Amino acid sequence: MKISTDTVVTMHYTLRNPEGEILDSSRGSDPLAYLHGHSQIVAGLERALNDRVVGDKVDIVVSPEDGYGTHDENLDLALPISAFPPEMQKELEPGVQFVAEHPDDDEQMAMYTVLSLDGDRVLVTGNHPLADVPLHFDVEIVEIRAATEEELDHGHVHGPGGHAH
């Protein structure tokens, strides 16, 4: 069986930055299972895995455009603390994440991370920590199977490496 849309792919992966530092890896724990063709992994990696078979080892570099995006200055914001609901104001500290409208498109949501607090201003960014970073993936395909109807219905994988519910 080859990897194609609506297959469930189980893989081991290691993600490195261009300096060779490991940013994330499934090695040493359970492999990752995802539903192929549903944008659950970055676009460049998903495309590179099309038609692969079990046992294939894939080394690829994904550009920021096909990865976590390029840095968007419009997503670096200084917000007045009063823009946050009172119960959230107490909990604002670096690293706190929240979802809010994209500044360029109020139909779209963006995930923001608090960077710092400066008096009554809160500095936040909607840029992904890996924006602008070319992603070096080293992947080994462990298993490929057809997704069940229930999985397609839910849009995610059930069982090992996936949702347990």
Determine the interface stretch with Zn ion among 35-43, 78-86, 117-125, 149-157 (rule: CB under 5 A): 149-157
Determine the interface stretch with Zn ion among 8-16, 29-37, 60-68, 153-161 (rule: CB under 5 A): 153-161
154 lies in the site for Zn ion, by CB under 5 A: yes
Q: What is the DSSP string of 18-48?
A: TT--EEEE-TTSPPEEEETTSS-S-HHHHHH
* Complex with Zn ion: residue 90 or 165, whichever CB lies closer: 165
* Complex with Zn ion: residue 33 or 62, whichever CB lies closer: 33
Q: Cβ 94 to Zn ion, closest distance in Å?
A: 33
Q: Cβ 6 to Zn ion, closest distance in Å?
A: 15
Residue whose tokens read 């895995």: 49
Q: Which residue has its beta carbon closest to Zn ion?
A: 154
Q: Which residues contact 46 (CB under 8 A, 6 or more apart)?
A: 36, 37, 39, 40
* Complex with Zn ion: residue 7 or 125, whichever CB lies closer: 7
Tell me the sheet residues that pair with 143.
10
Contact map string, positions 99 to 128, toward Zn ion, x by CB under 5 A = ------------------------------
* Complex with Zn ion: residue 105 or 164, whichever CB lies closer: 164
d(CA 31, CA 161): 7
Between the CA of residue 100 and those of 19, 53, 75, 140, what are the distances in Å? 33, 39, 11, 36
* Complex with Zn ion: residue 47 or 163, whichever CB lies closer: 163
d(CA 57, CA 60): 10
User: 3-state DSSP: the chain helix, strand, coil percent, rounded to 5?
Assistant: 15, 40, 45
The residue ranges that bind Zn ion (CB under 5 A) are 154, 163
